[in-house]
Amino acid sequence: MRDKILELLANRDMTVTDLSAELGISKATVSHHIDRLQREGLVRVSREERVKNFIRKYYSLSIPNGNVGEIIVGEIEKAARSGERAEVFRNTVRLLGYAMLRVSPHLFKRAGYEVGYRLGWEGAGIEDLAEIWEDLGLGETSYSGNVFDVEECYFCSGLPEIGQTYCKFDEGIIAGFLSRSAGKLYEVREVKCWGTGDELCEFVFKRIE
C-alpha cells in the first residue's frame, strides 16, 4: 500500500480524501500510512487550504529533500547555465541516486550488483575492476588485500556528511563483479565515504563461504 501511495504522489499532490477514494481504502488507513511515510522523510505536506472550519492538507513526495538534495539541484542549475553538459548529467545521476538511496538502499545495491555482474568475467580480479572503474570515470582507485579505495568518487565526492554512506550502488557493483569473476558470492561494505566525513570511499570485501 505504501508503494501505491508513493506512486500516486509522484504524479500529483493529493489529500487523504483523494488517496482514500483512489485506493478504495479508509481515510484512517491512509492517514496511518501517511504518518509513517512522513516520519521516514518520504512524504511532506506541500500546501494547506482552509475549508470552512478545518484545514485541508495536500501531500507530495519529499524526495529529494533536505540539504543534500538542495545542493545537488543547485549544482545542476549552475552546470546548466554554464553549458557543462557532463556536470549536468553527473548531478542528475547523483540526484536520482540519492532519491533511490532514501527510498530503498537495498534495491539500489541490488541494481549495482546486476551491473557489476555483467561487467565481470571468469578469472578477472580486483585490478581489472580498478581499470574499468577509472576507464568509466567513476574515480581514482587503489586496492590492497580485501580493501578497494576510490578517490574523487563520481557519485558522492563533495557531498555533505550525513552520518551514513552514500555508495550502495557501488557496493553492489563490486560485489557483482567479484562474484561473477570468482564464481563465489562476495559481500561488500563501504566503511568510509563523504557521507561519513571522509574524503574518499573505502570498500571492504570478503568471500561468503
- Give the pLDDT of residue 42: 76
| Mean pLDDT, residues 81-96 | 85
Place of cell 484512517: 28
The percentage of the chain sitting over the pLDDT mark of 90, rounded to a whole number, equals 53
Q: Which sign does the torsion angle of CA 45, 50, 53, 58 carry?
A: negative
For residue 191, which of 148, 141, 142, 155 has the smallest C-alpha distance? 148
pTM for this predicted structure: 0.69
Q: 74 in helix, strand or coil? A: helix
At residue 63, does pLDDT exceed 60? no
Contacts of 146 (CB under 8 A, 6+ apart): 204, 205, 206
pLDDT in tens, 125-140: 999 999 999 998 999 9
String of DSSP letters for 89-135: HHHHHHHHHHHHHHH-HHHHHHHHHHHHHHH--TT--HHHHHHHHHH
Arithmetic mean of pLDDT over the chain: 88
Closest CA to 126 of 172, 165, 198, 179: 179
Kindly provide the b/e burial profile for residues 110-120, where b requires at least 16 CB atoms within 10 angstroms of the residue's own CB.
ebbbeebbebb
Higher-pLDDT residue of 124 and 40 is 124
Residue 62 has pLDDT above 80, yes or no: no
What average pLDDT does the segment 66-81 reach? 75
**57 SS3 class:** strand
Q: Please report which confidence band the pLDDT of residue 69 belongs to, taking 50, 70 and 90 as the band edges.
A: low
- Sorting pLDDT into bands at 50, 70 and 90, what band is 65? very low
The Cα–Cα gap between 67 and 75 comes to: 12
Tell me the mean pLDDT in the region 48-56: 86
The C-alpha cell at 62 is: 519529499
Cα-to-chain-centroid distance, residue 147:
23
**Average pLDDT of the segment spanning 137-163:** 95
Higher-pLDDT residue of 200, 114: 200
The C-alpha cell at 107 is: 534495491
